[in-house]
Amino acid sequence: MLTGENIVQLVSGLLHWAYAQAGISSLAGVIDPIISAVVMFGFIAVFVMFLVWMERKVSAHMQSRIGPNRVGPLGLLQTVADAIKLTIKEDVKPVNRDKVPYFIAPIVAFVATFMGMVVIPFDKGVVVQDLNVGILYIIAITGFTVIAILTAGWSSNNKYALLGGFRSAAQIISYEVSLVLSVVPIIMITGTLSLSGIVEYQKQAGYWFILPQIVAFLIFITSATAEANRAPFDIPEAESELIGGFHTEYSGVKFAMFFLGEYIAVVVSSAVAVTLFLGGWLPLPYLDFLHIPGFVWFLAKLLLVIYLIMAFRWTFPRLRVDQLMDFGWKVLIPISIINILATAVVWFCLYGKGAQ
C-alpha cells in the first residue's frame, strides 16, 4: 500500500545505498536532515507559488473576473513569471534607511515562518523533525515575525512604513494571546505537545477535535487570520491609508521575502489548524477503504482551510482599529479562557471518576 511513510522509507533506503556507494555512510546523520530541509524548501516555494495563483483565481471568481490566464495553462505560470520579475528588478535602497536592520528584517520574516514548517507532519513519519514540544515551538518561532515587521518599519525611515509596522505589531501581539489560548484545550485532552502525537490521539479517539472544540477552532482561525495580517484584519496594510504598510520601502527580492513570509505564515497556521482540529493526515470517516495516502488527505484539508481564509478576504469588510482591539482583548481572550475552564469541567464530569 502506498503511504507517505513507505515513500520516505524507500527514498531514505535509496539514499543510504548511495551513501554506501560513495563511502560517506558515516555522514548520513548530517546529509539526511539537509536533504529533508531542501525538500521542504522546494515544496514551500512551489506550494506558495501555487497559493498566490489560487488566491488570484479565487478573488477573480468572487468578483466575476477571469484572473491570470496568459502565462501557461490557466495562468498557472503567472507566479513563476512574477517571481523572475521580482528577482531581476532593480534593488532600490532608500538613502535614509538603517543599513543593517533594513537588510536583516526580510530574512528574519522569512526564516521565522519557514522554521515553523519543519515540525508539521504531512503524513505518519513524513516530517523534517518531529519535536515533543512541537506546537509550542511553532508558536515561539513564528513570534519572530513581530520583530521583523517592527524592524522593517523602523529601518525604512518612512512614516507610512513606521506607522504600518507599529499597527502590525500591535495587532499581532493582541491576537497572539487568544491564538495560544485556543490551543490549550487540545493539549489538556491529549496531554502531549507533539503534533504527530495529537493526530495519533485523534485516530485512536475516533473523532476530530473540531467536534468537541469548535469554539477553539473558530478562535484559532480568527486569530490566525489576524496574525497573518490578512483581510478583514489588514488594517496595517490598508492600501488606501498606509500604501504598503511596513514594507512600503522594500522592492525586488526583499519585498518577495516579506510576501513569501506572509504566505508561509498562512500555510503554517492552516497546517496547524488541520493537525489540531481536522485530524491531520487521517482520512475522512468511512472513506479509509479508498487507501488514499495520508499526505493527500493532509494537503486536501490544508487547501480547504487556506481556501476558507482566502474566502474571508472577499466576504467580510475591513475592521476599524478600535473594533480590532476591542474584538481581540474584550471578546476572544475571555472566551478562550472560559473555553479552557469549560473543557476542564466537562472532562472531569465525563472521565473524572476513572482519572489518576
- Report the distance separating Cα 97 and Cα 79, nearest Å: 29
- Report the distance separating Cα 132 and Cα 112, nearest Å: 19
174 is a contact residue toward another protein (CB under 8 A): yes
Q: Is 160 exposed, middle or buried (0-12, 13-18, 19+ CB in 10 A)?
A: middle
Whole-number minimum distance, CB 246 to another protein, in Å? 12
Sign of CA dihedral 334, 213, 47, 71: negative
**CA 91 to each of CA 66, 87, 94, 151, 156: distance values in angstroms, whole numbers, following the listed order:** 32, 9, 10, 19, 14
The span of 51-59, 105-113, 268-276, 306-314 binding another protein (CB under 8 A) equals 105-113
128 is a contact residue toward another protein (CB under 8 A): yes
181 is a contact residue toward another protein (CB under 8 A): yes
- Report the distance separating Cα 83 and Cα 48, nearest Å: 11
- Report the distance separating Cα 81 and Cα 61, nearest Å: 22
Region 303-332 residues binding another protein, contact defined as CB under 8 A: 321-322, 324-326, 329-330
Whole-number minimum distance, CB 317 to another protein, in Å? 18
112 near 141, Cβ under 8 Å?
A: yes
Region 234-253 residues binding another protein, contact defined as CB under 8 A: 243, 248-249, 252-253
Q: Pick one of 91, 286, 289, 349: the residue that binds another protein (CB under 8 A).
A: 91
Task: Decide whether 33 or 285 has the Cβ nearer to another protein.
Answer: 33
95 is a contact residue toward another protein (CB under 8 A): yes
48 is a contact residue toward another protein (CB under 8 A): no
Task: Decide whether 58 or 113 has the Cβ nearer to another protein.
Answer: 113
Of the candidates 83, 59, 58, 81, the residue with the CA atom closest to the CA atom of residue 71:
81
The span of 55-63, 213-221, 273-281, 344-352 binding another protein (CB under 8 A) equals 344-352
Q: Pick one of 19, 41, 307, 312: the residue that binds another protein (CB under 8 A).
A: 41
202 is a contact residue toward another protein (CB under 8 A): no
Whole-number minimum distance, CB 213 to another protein, in Å? 13
Task: Decide whether 23 or 91 has the Cβ nearer to another protein.
Answer: 91
The span of 35-43, 73-81, 208-216, 218-226 binding another protein (CB under 8 A) equals 35-43
157 near 97, Cβ under 8 Å?
A: yes
- Report the distance separating Cα 173 and Cα 169, nearest Å: 6
Query: What's the DSSP call for residue 18?
Result: H
Task: Decide whether 68 or 116 has the Cβ nearer to another protein.
Answer: 116
Q: What is the CA radius of gyration of the chain?
A: 22
257 is a contact residue toward another protein (CB under 8 A): yes
Q: Which three cell numbers stand for residue 270?
A: 492552516
Task: Decide whether 9 or 129 has the Cβ nearer to another protein.
Answer: 129
67 near 41, Cβ under 8 Å?
A: no
298 is a contact residue toward another protein (CB under 8 A): no
Q: Pick one of 79, 151, 213, 222: the residue that binds another protein (CB under 8 A).
A: 151
Query: What's the DSSP call for residue 271?
Result: H
Q: Pick one of 55, 176, 237, 262: the residue that binds another protein (CB under 8 A).
A: 176
Omega before residue 232 within 30° of 0, cis = yes
60 is a contact residue toward another protein (CB under 8 A): no
- Report the distance separating Cα 139 and Cα 113, nearest Å: 10
Q: Pick one of 214, 341, 342, 346: the residue that binds another protein (CB under 8 A).
A: 341
Whole-number minimum distance, CB 65 to another protein, in Å? 26
